[in-house]
Structure 1
Amino acid sequence: MKIAFYGSSLVSAYWNGAATYYRGVIKALHGLGHDVTFYEPDVYDRQKNRDIDPPDWCRVVVYEGTIDALKAAASAAAEADVVIKASGVGFEDDLLFEQIVAFARPDAVRIFWDVDAPATLAEIRPDPNHRLRRLLPQIDAVLTYGGGDPVITAYQDLGAIICVPIYNGLDPDTHHPVPADPRFAADLSFLGNRLPDREQRVEEFFLRPAADLPERRFLLGGSGWGDKPMSANVDYVGHVRTADHNAFNTSPLAVLNISRDSMASIGFSPATRVFEAAGAGACLITDAWQGLELFLEPDREVLVVRDRKDVAEVLKSLTPERAAEIGKAALARVLRDHTYTDRARQADGVIRQLFAKRAMEAAE
């Protein structure tokens, strides 16, 4: 099928946490025979900070950050069998969605793909006249990259016909074990951009344990932390290119995952870094959140911490041998159960069911 996919960016991960997810899902959808065109606006200097070239498995169309350019890009929806609007595109999101729905053919499948369901729901729930909320009954399905039953119920209560989580996963061609790199040597590393609903948890699970363990070395990657107070044993490396993620994950003793406040509270929302780290064979330490055991087995494939004291205790007792054992088990698990091919097959099944439903309705 011909798919028109409107998202933040496929070619740049700069201030764009959904990039890995988009790439994994769309590449796998292409592998299943779909013809995907990705439309992204030229905003937030992402085009100046590309980390991949346009791939051979997806056509990429970059449009200017203007209303006229947006409308021109949205008009291309008329040529597609499946029209997908992702959340957080970054330029006039609601207008873009309205234009896409207006241009889509009557027989086309219309999907809203939410890559940050907790934030989206928090925005639209209090406002019955929110433009996105009014559009939900006009689309065929909401797909989300996390959230489980709480998100499914919330979206259906707001008028969505169906809501299906398509979780983050692993592209083993992109994220895999590599030799350690001295640039990223540490006892514990964390990679994530500085965001308001993440900062307090980064303080609790990373910066405070670093201060508690001055003899240990900590490594912080991601944009926006430059002026953040941190102890002398924390090395800040700034934005880490996607090409360096494998080395960032394989070089330290352990890698830390810290959920944003909203993701932790709603549960069932593994971040891309969970699968990136596991795919590299890293020893992953994560904050606790509901649903974790659906993806990795605690104490065998992942280590779980609930506060700064837990982080310190885990690091004190973690040996290189134990870390390697956990990383090996996690890698085997994600390769078996959590690749983007698995996720794309699920999305493909939803799309084909919706397309068949549309065809039946048109024939009646």
Structure 2
Amino acid sequence: MATIAILGLSITSSWGNGHATTYRGLVKALARRGHDVVFLERDVPWYASHRDLADPPYCRTHLYADREELDRRFSAIVREADAVIVGSYVPEGVEVGKWALARASGPVAFYDIDTPVTLAKLARGDEEYLTAELIGAYHHYLSFTGGPTLDRLRQLGSPDPVPFYCAVDPDVHHPLDVARDWRLGYLGTYSPDRQPTLERLLLAPARDLSDARFVVAGPQYPEDTAWPENVSYIWHLPPSEHGAFYCGQDFTLNITRADMRAAGWSPSVRLFEAAACGVPVISDTWDGLADFFEPGREILLAESTAEVVEFLNDIDEAGRQAIGAAARAAVLRSHTADHRAEQLEQLFSLRPAARSENTRHPEPVS
């Protein structure tokens, strides 16, 4: 059994971020394989008021108020861990990363769930949570994005950039026998760069198909958003309700952030979640997508309103079920949290082991 310390954006709150779902699946898989995981999370008010998993049962979770408390209470945990992971968008991430590298005795990896966004920020001189110096200092760079982006990370000095894609927890995301209330739906936090695609691939089809029902779920949409009358809006869905939400749709829509679409090879966790539920996905297009799903058989690609309307009008129930089943099989073959946990074991040379109730672990200082 190994001890792994993770300093991440959040595992306790999924409000307005996809990190929590990703961390929960990964940590749960690591625990199932016998590892002891400690998750250290900055206590911030916007997550404190929206915690949907305050005490995850598969890891030891500790909140800290600032870097002084992080150093005072958790130095021993990081020092004695077999491996340490620092995530993207951690508050004061540069200083936290330097602190982890200085305290850890084992390898320290940077887990970038936002790689194209990170590199775009660095190109603008924005060093919110990472610097070029830190890229070279981290022992491994776990990149949300594969393809040519890995070469870019090597050019920036990373000694070991590896594709570490998001993944899905099949215990949470699987087909459910629920009423299908919506013809097409979308789950995602509002972002200005995605909104034109949402307009083109969901809101415009909803106006064309006024007898069908559509749905959008996610926080931070402007109050003046013009929703068509046949589009329902759900402000926030906790991860526990994502599966039923997807399974309540005939088709679901995947929209990719602009930076990630430009980089390619950047599947989102929402894409894998929907596919694992056996729901056929209509997605925008980007380089590398065919490495994850076979277009036309496992996923449907659209760039125009007319293409979406054609899919909704022309694909019968048998075709719908076949695409959903093929997508689910593709995810279960290669993109579950257990696949990522095994990848971490290989990267850090860790061995899976059964849990021992008598194992003693370093505890935080009071």
1:155 matched to 2:153? The reply is yes
Secondary structure of 2:237 counterpart: coil
Give yes or no for the alignment of 1:303 onto 2:287. no
Name the structure 1 match of 2:195: 199
User: What does residue 100 of structure 1 align with?
Assistant: 100
Secondary structure class of the residue paired with 2:294:
coil
SS in 1 for 2:196: helix
CA distance in 1, matches of 2:262, 2:173: 28
Paired residues of 1:25 and 1:341 also in contact (CA < 8 A):
yes
Distance 1:196 1:94 in 2: 27
Deviation at 1:27, TM superposition (A): 1.7
Question: Which of the numbers 340, 345, 350 marks the counterpart of 2:347?
Answer: 350
The aligned runs of 1:28-39 (5 Å cut-off) are 28-39=29-40
Deviations 1:153-207 (A, max 9, x none): 111111110100111222111111112246xx11100000012332232222222
Q: Which moved more, 1:332-341 or 1:259-268?
A: 332-341
Q: Distance in 1 between matches of 2:191 and 2:68?
A: 31
CA distance in 2, matches of 1:126, 1:236: 35
Where does structure 2 lack aligned partners over 5 or more consecutive residues?
351-366
Distance in structure 1 (CA, Å) of the matches to 2:39 and 2:127:
29
Shifted more, 193-202 versus 69-78: the winner is 69-78
Matched position secondary structure for 1:236? strand
Give, as a single letter, the amino acid of the residue that structure 2 aligns with 1:192: G
RMSD: 2.0
**Separation (CA, whole Å) in 2 of partners of 1:115 and 1:47:** 21
> How far off its partner does 1:341 sit?
1.1
Task: State which of 245, 248, 254 in structure 2 corresponds to 1:257.
Answer: 254
Post-superposition shift, 1:44? 4.5
Q: Which moved more, 1:313-322 or 1:47-56?
A: 47-56
Distance verdict in 2 for CA 1:72–1:286, change over 3 Å: farther
1:225 to 212, 221, 226: 221
Instruction: Calculate the TM-score normalised by the size of structure 2.
Output: 0.89
Residues 329 and 158 (structure 1), Cα distance of their counterparts in 2 relative to 1, 3 Å cut: same
Number of residue pairs aligned between Structure 1 and Structure 2? 346
Q: Which runs of 5+ in 1 are unaligned?
A: 354-364
Query: Which of residues 338, 341, 347 in structure 1 aligns to 2:338?
Result: 341
* CA distance in 2 between partners of 1:60 and 1:181 (Å): 36
Confirm or deny: 8 A CA contact 1:144 1:164 kept in the other structure.
Answer: yes
Structure 1 CA distance for aligned equivalents of residues 73 and 228 of structure 2 = 47
> 1:321 is matched with which residue?
318
Contact 1:9/1:40 (<8 A) preserved = yes
Query: Shift of the alpha carbon at 1:74?
Result: 5.7
For residues 90-110 of structure 1, give each alpha carbon's deviation from its aligned partner in whole angstroms, at most 9, with x where no partner exists: x222221122222222xx101
Measured against aligned partners, the alpha-carbon deviations of 1:112-163 in whole angstroms (never above 9, x if no partner) come to 1100001111111354988621122222110012x21222111111111010
Task: Give 1:73 shift.
Answer: 5.6
Q: How does 1:36-185 map to 2 (within 5 A)?
A: 36-64=37-65, 66-72=66-72, 75=75, 76-89=77-90, 91-105=91-105, 108-127=106-125, 132-145=131-144, 147-181=145-179, 185=181
1:72 alignment partner AA: R
Between the aligned partners of 2:243 and 2:186, the Cα distance in structure 1 is 13
Q: CA deviation at 1:268?
A: 0.8
Query: 2:16 is matched by which residue type in structure 1?
Result: W
Distance 1:35 1:349 in 2: 16
Moved over 4 A (4+): 128-131
Counterpart-to-counterpart distance in 1, 2:273 and 2:150: 26
Closer, same or farther in 2 for the Cα pair 1:74/1:124, shift >3 Å?
Answer: farther
Q: Which amino acid aligns with 2:287?
A: Q
Q: What's the secondary structure of 1:190's corresponding residue?
A: strand
**Cα contact 1:191–1:221 (8 A) shared by 2:** yes
Q: Does 1:274 align with 2:274?
A: no
Task: Tell me if the contact between 1:226 and 1:236 (Cα under 8 Å) persists in the aligned partners.
Answer: no
Q: Is the 8 A contact 2:4 2:83 kept in 1?
A: yes
Aligned equivalents of 1:44, 1:200: Cα separation in 2: 31
| TM-score, structure 1 as length reference | 0.89
CA distance in 2, matches of 1:348, 1:169: 16
Q: Which has the higher contact order (CA 8 A, sep 6+)?
A: 2
Cα distance, 1:240–1:349 mapped onto 2, change above 3 Å:
same
**Equivalent pairs: percent with the same residue?**
36
**1:15 paired to 2:5:** no
Q: Which has the higher helix share?
A: 1
Q: Secondary structure, in 3 states, of the residue corresponding to 1:253?
A: strand
* Range with bigger deviation, 307-316 or 250-259: 307-316
Contact 2:272 2:331 in 1 (8 A): yes
- Aligned-residue offset at 1:29: 2.1
In the alignment, which residue of structure 1 is the partner of 2:288?
A: 291
Residue 357 of structure 1 corresponds to none
CA distance in 1, matches of 2:282, 2:43: 36
Which segment drifts farther, 254-263 or 131-140?
131-140
